[in-house]
Amino acid sequence: MQDETLLMMPGPVPMPQRVRLAMARQAINHRGAEFGECLDDINRMLKPMFGTENEVLVISGSGTAGMEAAVANFCAKKKVAALVNGKFGERLYKISKLYSDNVVGLESEWGTPLHLERLKEELENGAEAVTLVHNETSAAIKNPAEEVGKLCKKHDALFIMDGITSIAGDVVKADKWGADVAIVGSQKCLAAPAGLAAVSVSDKAWDNLAEWRPMYLDLAAYKKSAAKSQTPYTPAVPLFFALREACMIIEEEGLENRIARHRNLADAVRAAAKSWGLELFPKLDEFHEYSNTATAICYPDGIDDSKFRGVIKKLGIEISGGQDDLKGKIFRIGTMGATGAPEVMAVLNATLKALNELGYRQEGCGLAAASDILKY
């Protein structure tokens, strides 16, 4: 039996050994050539994952730092339309309100489709920037980034896209979709340690650079330093070594293969849930899809969240519950990063045991349904 808990959450996710060991190196001078090469390597390897030709800037901070950098640098004082159908959409909405007095929240119930018609109206009414979470893991719903991008382009609005849990695990085409700013977090599909956020910035976004910018998250300072292969403030060097290694692993796998694998794993989890007679949480329409990297499943009546996840944890696996109002109503399984069939079968086995132990009797054989689909 493994001695560490297997994380099957929508991040953080298990790290490959090569990534972990990359952190154990001795400290280096982050103003020297060696760190510069590391930063340049990361920048080069992240670009295709973002689907961008724009420079990608790496911040020593969490995904939230990346979100705040995007909003503070490019949305301050603007008329902002914030699309919300989950916790992270809400966070972007909240951050936008910190930096502008003119923010409209276009709120849907969590896990239900975004109001694209209302977005059109807001753009017609002069919205200058739009925030969107591409892959909303709080509800395991994939939002229509391409559609939103088209609307933003048509109305010449800036498009800020949180790709924290989709980039490197799902198709993202920041340039093609017109995402002026896109953000990824290190501990999600990249399978690197937590603590870095990377942000791509279009020329149009730079043209909209805010006059007042915070110091630590001043992206103009990051851009200026990146030209010298540096960061403006001391970087969290071990995390950069690890992220480079993680990017190299992704290059070796091939981005398309990696995305196909993520899709396959999520397909398998959904097939198992449906076969067992469980309901998937997201409500979709023609523009919205299930997440490619996480699955949210409604608890059947009478299953207690903390007991359920307790049984699974005793089996050495951690999954996530619902956040905020969804606490106790759903559970979430992440299939991001370096995971494959062994981990998916392990988490499904534990899920079934927990369901049974708490009195739920499944309909069909979900394990076989998943096994039938799994290719990795």
- Cβ atoms of residues 95 and 65 within 8 Å: no
Q: Which residue in 10, 15, 262, 265 binds its own copies (CB under 8 A)?
A: 15
Q: How far is the CB of 68 from its own copies (least distance, A)?
A: 5
Residue 309's H or E segment, with its range, is: helix 305-314
| Local structure of 197: helix, strand or coil | strand
**Binding characters for its own copies, 83-122, by CB under 8 A (x = yes):** -----------xx--x------------------------
Nearer to its own copies, 1 or 26 (CB): 26
Gap between the Cα atoms of 175 and 191, Å rounded? 24
Beta strands in 232-375 (DSSP E): 289-290, 294-298, 317-318, 320-321, 330-334
Q: How far is the CB of 102 from its own copies (least distance, A)?
A: 16
Q: Which residue in 179, 199, 236, 326 binds its own copies (CB under 8 A)?
A: 236
Stretch that binds its own copies, among 28-36, 108-116, 130-138, 276-284 (CB under 8 A): 28-36
Q: Which residue in 48, 61, 105, 316 binds its own copies (CB under 8 A)?
A: 61
- Whose CA is closest to 237, among 33, 12, 20, 39? 39
Tell me the torsion sign for CA atoms 186, 198, 81, 288. Answer: negative
Nearer to its own copies, 306 or 356 (CB): 306
Site for its own copies contains 135 (CB under 8 A):
no
Query: What does DSSP say about strands 196-201 and 6-7: parallel, antiparallel, or unpaired?
Result: unpaired
Nearer to its own copies, 40 or 212 (CB): 212
Stretch that binds its own copies, among 43-51, 214-222, 287-295, 346-354 (CB under 8 A): 214-222
Tell me the torsion sign for CA atoms 227, 233, 237, 241. Answer: negative
Nearer to its own copies, 233 or 287 (CB): 233
Residue 35's H or E segment, with its range, is: helix 33-50
Residue 120's H or E segment, with its range, is: helix 116-124
Gap between the Cα atoms of 84 and 90, Å rounded? 6
Gap between the Cα atoms of 150 and 166, Å rounded? 19
Q: Which two tokens stand for residue 238?
A: 């071990």
Q: How far is the CB of 312 from its own copies (least distance, A)?
A: 12
Site for its own copies contains 195 (CB under 8 A):
yes
Buried/exposed code over 148-169 (b: 16+ C-beta within 10 A; e: otherwise): bbebbeebebbbbbbbbbbbbb
Q: How far is the CB of 21 from its own copies (least distance, A)?
A: 5
Q: Which residue in 147, 150, 230, 233 binds its own copies (CB under 8 A)?
A: 233
**Binding characters for its own copies, 334-363, by CB under 8 A (x = yes):** ------------------------------
Site for its own copies contains 1 (CB under 8 A):
no
- Cβ atoms of residues 277 and 362 within 8 Å: yes
**Dmax of the chain from CA atoms?**
61
Q: Which residue in 36, 214, 277, 328 binds its own copies (CB under 8 A)?
A: 214
Q: Which residue in 113, 144, 178, 185 binds its own copies (CB under 8 A)?
A: 185
What residue ranges bind its own copies (CB under 8 A)? 4-5, 7, 9, 11-15, 20-21, 23-30, 32, 60-65, 68, 72, 94-95, 98, 185, 187, 193-196, 212, 214-217, 233-239, 242, 318
